């Protein structure tokens, strides 16, 4: 969907939006990804019983949204991590670090009272949108 220079990003490789929001918006040279929770894109069911497994699924979902634009996690400049329990920080961080090995993005991590579907983690991000769409390279960071 196109509105001026604001483009809604939609992919079936990530969970569908379940409300009046887009999976992501591409505007002004950046991609603004809505918060992802650890849902399987096909079944819509929560994936993972612990924060490590859930964090991995969330980052896979964000990668899927970004790759639909020709970007990827390697282009992320800012994330916000929402944790149900700050005691899960170390476990989340260990998985997060594997996805952002070189030049990790700026980040804020906050503890929240509750998340949709009672998941343990949600992450949103802002990524650089390359002027020319190029294939995403999982795990590659600049």
Are the CB atoms for 9 and 26 separated by under 8 Å? yes
Q: Is residue 9 part of a domain?
A: yes
Residue of 112, 40, 121, 35 lying closest to 79 (CA atoms) = 35
CA 100/CA 59 separation, integer angstroms: 10
Q: Is residue 135 part of a domain?
A: no
Give this prediction's pTM: 0.89
Residue 52: CATH number of its domain: 3.30.1330.40
Residue of 76, 98, 97 lying closest to 24 (CA atoms) = 76
**One pLDDT digit (tens) per residue for the chain, 142 residues:** 445 589 999 999 999 998 999 999 999 999 999 999 999 999 999 999 999 999 999 999 999 999 999 999 999 999 999 999 999 999 999 999 999 999 999 999 999 999 999 999 999 999 999 776 544 444 443 3
> What domain range is 83 assigned to?
2-128
């Amino acid at each position: 969907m196109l509105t001026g220079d604001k483009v809604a990003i939609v992919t079936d490789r990530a969970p569908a939006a379940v409300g009046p929001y887009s999976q992501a918006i591409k505007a002004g040279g950046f991609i603004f990804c809505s918060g992802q929770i650890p849902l399987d894109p096909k079944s819509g069911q929560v994936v993972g019983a612990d924060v490590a497994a859930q964090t991995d699924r969330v980052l896979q979902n964000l990668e899927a949204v970004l790759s639909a634009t020709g970007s990827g996690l390697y282009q992320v400049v800012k994330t916000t991590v929402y944790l149900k329990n700050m005691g899960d920080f170390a476990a989340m961080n260990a998985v997060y670090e594997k996805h952002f090995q070189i030049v990790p993005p700026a980040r804020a991590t906050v503890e929240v009272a509750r998340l949709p579907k009672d998941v343990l983690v949600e992450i949103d991000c802002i990524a650089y949108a390359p002027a020319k769409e190029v294939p995403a390279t999982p795990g590659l960071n600049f």
